[in-house]
């Protein structure tokens, strides 16, 4: 999978390097901040900005990319929702 990405830092277009499977639990430095509910392995695509040297990792595992767990009711829903479709938890209030 190839896509055009812009560096968040400098706006340069980022270069695709490779995709890699990461074993969760062994790469804590990389995946810090991800919810603990994820387990197993995670597929990521690695992009590099040769302008400022920034490296970005993008998840390619659909399940992990598009679903988040609502802190209000604990159900999973698409992360594009501004409010939880189940309990109306409002993410803007945070
Ligand atoms: Zn950059
Ligand atoms: Zn909810």
For 56-73, write each residue's pLDDT tens digit: 888 776 554 567 889 999
In sequence order, the 6+-apart residues with CB closer than 8 A to the CB of 46 are 16, 17, 18, 19, 20, 55, 56, 57, 58
Cα(12) to ligand 1 centroid in Å equals: 5
Mean pLDDT of 67-90: 88
* Residue 39: Cβ-neighbour burial (10 angstroms; 0-12, 13-18, 19+): exposed
Hunting for tokens 């901040």 — which residue is that? 33
Cα(8) to ligand 1 centroid in Å equals: 7
Cα(54) to ligand 1 centroid in Å equals: 5
Cα(59) to ligand 1 centroid in Å equals: 19
Q: Given this model, what pLDDT does residue 73 score? A: 95
Residue 46 pLDDT > 60, yes or no?
yes
Q: What would the pLDDT profile of 4-13 be if each residue is shown by its tens digit?
A: 789 988 999 9
Give dist(CA 31, CA 59) in Å, integer: 11
Mean pLDDT of 3-32: 77
Closest ligand to C-alpha of residue 51 is: 1
Query: Nearest-CA neighbor of 75 among 87, 66, 92, 59?
Result: 87
Domain boundaries, the chain: 1-60, 66-94
Q: Given this model, what pLDDT does residue 79 score? A: 78
């Amino acid at each position: 999978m190839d896509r055009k990405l812009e560096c968040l830092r400098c706006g340069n277009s980022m270069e695709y390097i490779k995709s890699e499977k990461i074993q969760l639990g062994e790469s804590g430095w990389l995946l810090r901040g991800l919810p603990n509910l994820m387990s197993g392995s995670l597929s990521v695509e690695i992009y590099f900005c040769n302008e400022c040297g920034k490296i970005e990792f993008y998840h390619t595992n659909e399940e992990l990319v598009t679903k988040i767990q609502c802190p209000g009711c604990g159900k999973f829903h698409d992360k594009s929702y501004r409010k939880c479709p189940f309990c109306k938890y409002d993410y803007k209030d945070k």
